[in-house]
Chain A
Amino acid sequence: MHLQKLFFRNFRNFEKVDLQMEKGLTLLWGDNAQGKTNFLEAVFFLANLKSFRNSKNRDIIRWGESCCHISGDIMFQPCCKKVEVGVEKTGKSVRLNGKPVKSGRDYFGLFKTVLFSPEELNLVKGGPAGRRSLLDRAVFLADPDFLERVKKYDNYLKNRNRLLKEKRFRDELEVWTEGFLENGVRLRKDRITYLREFTPELKKNYREIAGTAENVDILYPGSEKGDEELGKDLREDLKKTREKERDLGYTLVGPHWDDPLFLVDGRPLRIFGSQGQKRSFLMAFKITQIQAIEAKTGKTPVLLLDDMASELDSFRQLNFFRFLSSREGQVFMTTTDKQQLARCGVSPSRSFQVCAGTLEEVKYERL
């Protein structure tokens, strides 16, 4: 699976991009704030119908324009599918082979991307919300239906919170609580099931990337428990917080508060890990995600690497690029420092200089 053609208009600072693409590595280099990350964001948007920067529709539309378009031809041997996304300030429309797509379910499985970005490193370094978000993105990538289940849970949660806030505690609250419980347990199960297969591979990949015998782990609360027990626990926790949630006016327990702990040698990575360990963890996390998709679908996702080279020391870089070059798939990578990539023996099949929202193709030898 790879992008054969990529087109976008009025996306961020780009007026128009229209490119034939190839498999292998496409390098985008240039100074900061020229649009390198925006390019990756456009590819990400095409696959996920949202930005990785938590942006609103109006933020991605070029200044002074009312809408933007992204489209791509995605090659699945032996045929090609055309995907198109139009974004206006108030909404977006999606087409697959010219026909409108009504549900994400029909779309998300098609074209998968894995992103590596400095923003995600901040998620590893930060609080539980970021770790949940990294984990949820990974589960979604493996199972696009997960998004629907997250939305459903969120819907029950928000309605329930509204009742608590308005102090409507009667029979009505009970039925919203039932839906909250059922879907909350489902969400926890989804995450736990995913991690059960994911974590052993993560450990292996971490050791390879970091070149150490350190042991990393992801500990999800309640992961050792069965379905029935998970259900009982959440019900129990809800009972315990009954007075307090009525006081404060919102739900105090549930998967939206869970903290998946990232550990190195049994201690929280966030507090006790070195910079290098955190970076290796994220690398290993992503590599494991890619391998899981490959094992499941037989296809390599499109990789989007935003300025990751600068985040790694030379040892980790080498290991990382060794992993990348053993892939069949398509990689888009941005950098400000092309020499550094050359030293790692990176040889892109195409390279572009990005300058103030324009692309210029450059021969690699001249880099």
Chain B
Amino acid sequence: MLNSISYFAKLVAELAKFPGVGQKTATRLAFFILTQPQEEAEALADTIRDLKRKVHFCPICFQMTESDPCQICADPRRDRNLLCIVEEPQDVLAIERSHAFKGQYHVLHGALSPLDGVGPEDLKIAELEERLQAGEIKEILIATNFSVKGETTALYLARLIKPRGLRVTRLAHGIPLGSDLEYIDQGTVGRAIEGRQEF
């Protein structure tokens, strides 16, 4: 049986596993939860449980979704000839906020990074090739980040896809170098999509 101190310590240890959260922040968060009203803390616990039970990755585009396939993949109004490739699920949200893109998505779940041990086989690239095989997609917009990893991944994809005779474009620069799509304002993302260039 855990005593009160170790319940607290256990939560701190769990929170400290979050990206960007250290021991100090984890302790502060745990203490905050402790001082919340009972319903609030339980609502948080329920939300976490629901998230894990109900949200998963779309088997087609690998965006997070509660339905199967996701709303975007299922939407008949979205352009099925146009596919946008991004690194992370958050990038889909950033592009959707801009309302500038009407096609479908493919989420790689990362970018090439030998130093972090990430190669093509660790990304959803085989799945991408399978989608392309179906023949419906005509244009690919590569929207990986403008970082060394993102640019290299873009080049890798372009070389992989171009021999299939598809049109391959890249987001226009105008997005600050090295920045993550996720943190760019909607207007800038919109302009980068409109101004996309042939790779």
Contact = CB atoms under 8 A, between A and B. Distances in A.
Interface string B149-160: 001100110011
A23 B114 CA distance: 50
| Pairs A-B, 5 closest by C-beta atoms | A162-B114, A175-B156, A159-B114, A155-B148, A175-B155
Contact of B115 (A159, A171, A178, A179): A159
Interface in A162-196: 162-163, 166, 168, 171-172, 174-176, 178-179
A158 interface: yes
Contact of B155 (A158, A166, A168, A178): A178
A235 interface: no
Interface string B137-164: 0000000000010011001100110000
B106 to A, nearest CB: 18
A256 interface: no
21 contacts: A148-B177, A152-B148, A156-B148, A158-B115, A159-B113, A159-B114, A159-B115, A162-B114, A162-B115, A166-B114, A171-B159, A172-B119, A172-B120, A175-B112, A175-B156, A176-B112, A176-B114, A176-B152, A179-B148, A179-B151, A179-B152
Nearest to B154: A175
Contacts of A148: 177
A176 B114 CA distance: 9
Interface of B: 112-115, 119-120, 148, 151-152, 155-156, 159-160, 177
> Chain A, interface size: which category?
10 to 19
Given A162-B114, A175-B159, A168 B119 contact: yes
Contacts of A160: 114
A36 to B, nearest CB: 37
Max chain A C-beta neighbours (<10 A), residue from B112, B113, B151, B152: B152
Nearest to A155: B148
A209 to B, nearest CB: 41
Contacts of A152: 148
Interface in A133-174: 148, 152, 155-156, 158-160, 162-163, 166, 168, 171-172, 174
Contacts of A175: 112, 152, 155-156, 159
A27 B1 CA distance: 68
Interface string A82-104: 00000000000000000000000
Contact of A174 (B115, B119, B148, B159): B159
A220 to B, nearest CB: 25
A63 B137 CA distance: 63
Contacts of A179: 148, 151-152, 155
A168 B114 CA distance: 10
A176 B177 CA distance: 18
Given A159-B115, A175-B112, 4 more contacts: A166-B114, A175-B159, A178-B155, A179-B152
A160 B113 CA distance: 10
